[in-house]
Amino acid sequence: MTTDLNIINLRAAAEALMAHGVDVHGADARGLPLHSNGHLGVDLLQVPPNTSFPIHVHPGDHLLLCLAGEGTISVGERTYEVRPGDIYMVDGDTPHAVGAGEAGHTLLAIGAPHKPVESPDRMNFTDWSGTVTDAPLFVEHGHG
């Protein structure tokens, strides 16, 4: 049982993200690990302007909360607009892709089971059917 509580301020974390974040494996993005107990974890992600995560799957479910910027989430070949305050859940092993608009996209990602942002096991590149691919596939801008 934990006796000390570790409280992290999201504003301070967002300011520290670019200086102390790490490259996200498989994507043009930076991530800052915030909390993990080995099963459940949370990371802060910054997707640079006009870039995206390729179509991929994670081994577990995750919630994504848009904190800043605007972007997209593509699931099942359909693309949805996302803006600050929007929260959505992606079930484990569901092919999806995340994109950023002109201002970039800052997301809070909560997942279980949790994998570190720089881990090669965090995500696998797939096509829309979930078949693993060797090379990343990207959603075309305006798709959906």
- So what's the pLDDT on residue 18? 83
Both tokens assigned to 129: 């059917």
Written as tens digits, the pLDDT of the chain (144 aa) is: 556 888 999 999 999 998 999 999 889 999 999 999 989 999 999 999 999 999 999 988 999 999 999 999 999 889 999 999 999 999 999 999 999 999 999 999 999 999 998 998 899 999 999 999 999 999 975 444
The rounded distance, in Å, linking the Cα atoms of 38 and 3 is: 17
The rounded distance, in Å, linking the Cα atoms of 111 and 107 is: 12
- So what's the pLDDT on residue 3? 67
Both tokens assigned to 40: 């459940």
| pTM score, whole prediction | 0.89
- So what's the pLDDT on residue 141? 55
Collapse the DSSP code of 125 into the 3-class scheme (helix H, G, I; strand E, B; otherwise coil) and give the result: strand
- So what's the pLDDT on residue 105? 94
The rounded distance, in Å, linking the Cα atoms of 141 and 121 is: 27
Query: Residue type at 95?
Result: P
- So what's the pLDDT on residue 140? 77
